[in-house]
Chain A
Amino acid sequence: MSAATNTTDATTGKAAQPSMLATAMPLLLQLRKLAFLLFFVTTLLFFLLRLAGDPALVLAGNDASPEQLAAIRKQFGLDRPLFIQYFSYMWHVLQFDFGKSLASGEPALWKVLDMLKRTLHLAVMAVVFSASLAIPIGAWLGFRPETLGRRIVGAIIFVFQGVPGYVTALVLIQLLAVNWHLLPSLGYGPLEWKTWIIPTVSLAFFMAPNLIRVTAANVAEAMREDYIRTARANGAKPRELLWKHAVPNALLGTAALLGTQFAMLMGGSAIIETIFSWPGIGWLLLESVQTLDFPVVQAEAFVIAILVFTINALVDLSFRFLDPRLRSKGT
């Protein structure tokens, strides 16, 4: 394909200047996407949850009489046609009002945000731990992937890749808490760092092998690039080749996976949170879905969608930081 020769504006014929709007465009487009997504998910969940159960029944309990049910329906507006309820609901959602939790009566959004900080706490620790393991090991493995020692380490990491986080968690609890009484087996305390260790390690051990393998593969690929040959021809030492030339180029893939893994923990850590009675949003999600606590489920989906979106945006931003080529493209 022939490259561009000259760029002209379709309407004026003059060379187009990038405006403020053009610079902010990618972000605007992304936000538009997010708005669509939130609308779509909220709508879908509204009808899906109605299919799953009757909120009046949840509110009143299973042994409620028909009169009690009717009263509750009237009180919460559940006797109105579904579409009216939907529009009224969406109107409230626009004001970030998801209603009150059917279980506890707190505002659903507050409940979710309250749990969120514990999930973020766990996720940040796990991601930092896993990245600080993965980058050095990955760089070491990718530098000369064919040597015997590295192949053995690679094989061990390969096996670890097949160990689900909850299996690691149970084994660690068995050893560290049940057998040796070194650490508490469950519970969450903001200042009790001992309660953090097993959950963090379990999550990190699940995420790190993948991260190591991706980093190693990217470093190995970077080591085959022409600019490495240039640096070698200019007398660079092996250490400089790796850390100055290969690793900075390989970090793009690591950052992408790290972002994916971090996003995955936004609710995807439900099992670890359940095992450790760590009351985060994953735990809350499970709890609220099972008890049909509709407002909380809705608020939860809303918050998770925004979180995942934000994480992806931050990862994109980090790409621009890591790769100057993406800085000037503006997409």
Chain B
Amino acid sequence: MSRFNRSKLRNAASFEIVVAFTLLAIVAFLAIFGKLLQSHDPMQGDLMARFTPLGQKGFLLGSDHLGRDLWSRMLAGLQWSMGCALTANIINLFIGTTLGLIAAERPGWPRTIARQITDTLQSFPFLVVAIVVVVIIGHGFWPLVLTLGFLAWPIFQRVVYAEASSIFQRDYVKAARIAGVGRITIMFQHVLPGVRASLMVIFAFHFAGLLIAESALSFLGIGAPLGVPTWGNILAESRQYMLKAPWMMLVPGGAIVVTVVTMNLVGDGIAGLARRRGRSIDA
């Protein structure tokens, strides 16, 4: 490969990162200021304008079976889904990191318990646990957030446990212990900074996973309350009108894919940056 090609490839790598964070900025902007950009009331239908195709009669993304504006409904749904996934993700991060650190640092019963909880949760497909719990505790934003928040953290625990365990084996941690540095200080000054990069990467990828889980549960009719404009609900409604109005399915479906790919790109971008930084640090 010539040198010209290589520098192009490297630029492509940073190009990916730029694209990822630009998309993230757009998604975040739409999620935060979406209300101002809504052209219609997302809940109010116009029965005269049912099944309007894309871009006609002022419906940017068309209208649904009740004549509601899909663009406005998508923005409302974005805010709902992002809020839900973000809150749940922060709870996940907190629980998973805590249990991972406990398992890595404290041999004996704390480790056993921390790992046992994780193993138990992982003995079932996540969706199975989520379905049972969400149905029992009920519909709505907070039940969904709490279900995802308190059940979807094992990925954080696994990664923190693995990485922290390896950091605890490093000579610099041994040197700190020999010097008499306390375990909590070691944890916050050596171990947590060491796992920070991986945590950021998982946070981004997991965000995408939570978005999928949220919309899946809503799609099944057990996540968001019926009638609330979330992407899963809109997608579920579209199923009856596939022949008549395919855009009713393609618009929310496309929105989910774009958002999920954005978060995956961000995760990949952070991982790439961390790798590059890690290479210069570790090599």
Chain A residues within CB distance 8 Å of chain B? 33, 37, 40-41, 45, 48-49, 51-52, 146-148, 151, 158-159, 161-164, 166-167, 170-171, 173-174, 178, 263-268, 270-271, 274-275, 282, 285-286, 289-290, 297, 301, 304-305, 308-309
A306 CB → nearest B CB, Å: 10
Contacts A158-B261, A161-B264, A271-B220: A305 and B123 contacting too (C-beta < 8 A)? yes
Q: Are B131 and A270 in contact (CB under 8 A)?
A: yes
In the bound complex, residues from chain B placing their C-beta under 8 Å from that of A264 are 125-127
Q: Are A167 and B257 in contact (CB under 8 A)?
A: yes
In the bound complex, residues from chain A placing their C-beta under 8 Å from that of B37 are none
* C-alpha gap A230/B12 in the complex (Å): 33
Q: Are A151 and B12 in contact (CB under 8 A)?
A: yes
Q: Are B208 and A162 in contact (CB under 8 A)?
A: yes
* CB-CB nearest in chain A for B249: A170
* C-alpha gap A282/B124 in the complex (Å): 12
B52 CB → nearest A CB, Å: 19
* C-alpha gap A41/B5 in the complex (Å): 57
Q: Are B132 and A285 in contact (CB under 8 A)?
A: yes
What's the A-B contact tally at a CB cutoff of 8 Å? 120
In the bound complex, residues from chain A placing their C-beta under 8 Å from that of B136 are 48-49, 51-52, 289
In the bound complex, residues from chain B placing their C-beta under 8 Å from that of A290 are 135, 222
Partner of B242, one of A146, A178, A304, A305: A178
A109 CB → nearest B CB, Å: 17
Q: Are B123 and A308 in contact (CB under 8 A)?
A: yes
A41 CB → nearest B CB, Å: 8
Give the dominant DSSP class at B's interface. Answer: helix
Chain B residues within CB distance 8 Å of chain A? 1, 5, 9, 12, 119-120, 123-128, 131-132, 135-136, 208, 212, 215-216, 219-220, 222, 235, 238-239, 242-243, 246, 249-250, 253, 256-258, 260-261, 263-265, 268
> Which has the most chain B C-beta neighbours within 10 Å: A271, A305, A309?
A271
Q: Are B119 and A33 in contact (CB under 8 A)?
A: yes
Q: Are A263 and B253 in contact (CB under 8 A)?
A: no
* C-alpha gap A268/B9 in the complex (Å): 39
B120 CB → nearest A CB, Å: 6
B161 CB → nearest A CB, Å: 16
* C-alpha gap A18/B261 in the complex (Å): 52
B268 CB → nearest A CB, Å: 7
Contacts A271-B220, A305-B124: A164 and B256 contacting too (C-beta < 8 A)? yes
> Which has the most chain A C-beta neighbours within 10 Å: B132, B135, B215, B263?
B132
Interface pairs (20), CB distance under 8 Å: A151-B9, A158-B261, A162-B258, A162-B264, A163-B260, A164-B216, A164-B260, A171-B250, A178-B246, A263-B125, A265-B125, A266-B125, A267-B127, A270-B131, A274-B220, A290-B135, A301-B124, A301-B132, A304-B124, A304-B125
Q: Are A170 and B131 in contact (CB under 8 A)?
A: no
B184 CB → nearest A CB, Å: 25
Q: Are A267 and B128 in contact (CB under 8 A)?
A: yes
Q: Are B120 and A37 in contact (CB under 8 A)?
A: yes
Q: Are A167 and B253 in contact (CB under 8 A)?
A: yes
In the bound complex, residues from chain A placing their C-beta under 8 Å from that of B264 are 158, 161-162
* C-alpha gap A308/B127 in the complex (Å): 13
Contacts A158-B268, A289-B131: A37 and B253 contacting too (C-beta < 8 A)? no
Contacts A289-B131, A289-B132, A304-B128: A40 and B120 contacting too (C-beta < 8 A)? yes
In the bound complex, residues from chain A placing their C-beta under 8 Å from that of B238 are 170
* C-alpha gap A166/B136 in the complex (Å): 24
Partner of A268, one of B12, B125, B258, B265: B125
Partner of A285, one of B1, B5, B128, B260: B128
Q: Are B135 and A289 in contact (CB under 8 A)?
A: yes
In the bound complex, residues from chain B placing their C-beta under 8 Å from that of A37 are 119-120, 123
Q: Are B257 and A267 in contact (CB under 8 A)?
A: no
Q: Are B125 and A146 in contact (CB under 8 A)?
A: no
* CB-CB nearest in chain A for B232: A166
* CB-CB nearest in chain B for A175: B246
A296 CB → nearest B CB, Å: 12
In the bound complex, residues from chain A placing their C-beta under 8 Å from that of B253 are 167, 170-171
Q: Are A286 and B220 in contact (CB under 8 A)?
A: yes
- Supply 12 further A-B pairs (C-beta < 8 A) apart from A164-B260, A263-B125: A33-B119, A148-B9, A161-B264, A162-B260, A166-B219, A167-B256, A174-B249, A178-B243, A267-B127, A289-B131, A305-B123, A309-B123
